[in-house]
Structure 1
Amino acid sequence: MRSLKFRTAASADMRRLERETRAAWGEAQAAKYSTELRNAIKSLLDYPLRFPEFEPRPGLRRMTSGKHAVFYLVLENRIEIIRVMHLASDFERWL
């Protein structure tokens, strides 16, 4: 069975987006959005190949949830979350 692993940058991305959502929209909305995003990421364990590869980077896949893109790799025994970025981000610059 596969597991989820967040790279350091992805963990920092999650903390930042939670902090920014809390500042802009309040604690309740931040908790709701974070839970929805984390549940979407967990769903990758069931169907990891359902999202397309990010063409500039072979093997890297991109899932969209809310206003964020989740970049991840499907490895033999785990799903590795590389980055979690706002859809307005310059993806190629930060990957």
Structure 2
Amino acid sequence: MVRRGIQSEVRTLEFRAAAVADLRRTARETRARWGQAQAAHYVATLRDDIKSRLEFPLRFPEYEPRPGLRRMNSGRHAVFYLVFEDRIEIVRVLHAAAGFETWLG
């Protein structure tokens, strides 16, 4: 499942189901540890950073083990995404301490 989101003049930003689940898990874990206000702020920052990919999608380098997959950091999370002519797909949003290969498999 891919969720359609923000529309730009050139590209659409889409979230794969796993990325949506990652954002929800991040919000839940942040809320449990730091409270509702911090969770809302942190997730909003993640979403703003992700939205910025619409303007400069090639700004961040490819994630070497996976050709075509790009990685950008936002706070303590890594956002993995693919760039297509008409869209950007957010694949995963993983905590920096996660074993990326395990989650990206």
Instruction: Please indicate the TM-score interval, normalised by the length of the shorter structure.
Output: over 0.9
Q: Deviation at 1:55? A: 0.2
Q: Deviation at 1:90? A: 0.4
Q: Deviation at 1:60? A: 0.2
1:35 aligns with 2:44: yes
Query: Could you tell me the TM-score, scaled by structure 2's length?
Result: 0.89
Where do residues 1-95 of structure 1 align in structure 2 (5 Å cutoff)? Answer: 1-95=10-104
1:30-87 Cα distance to aligned partner (Å, 9 max, x none): 0100111100000000000000100000000000000000000001101000000000
Distance 1:14 1:33 in 2: 10
2:60 is paired with a residue of what secondary structure? coil
Unaligned ranges ≥5, structure 2: 1-9
Distance 2:102 2:28 in 1: 22
Unaligned ranges ≥5, structure 1: none
Distance 1:12 1:35 in 2: 15
Q: Number of residues paired by the alignment? A: 95
Q: CA RMSD in A?
A: 0.4
Query: Could you tell me the TM-score, scaled by structure 1's length?
Result: 0.99
1:29 is paired with a residue of what secondary structure? helix
Q: Residue 68 of structure 2 aligns to which amino acid in structure 1?
A: G
List, as ranges, runs of 4+ consecutive aligned residues in structure 1 with deviation greater than 2 Å: none
Q: Percent identity?
A: 68
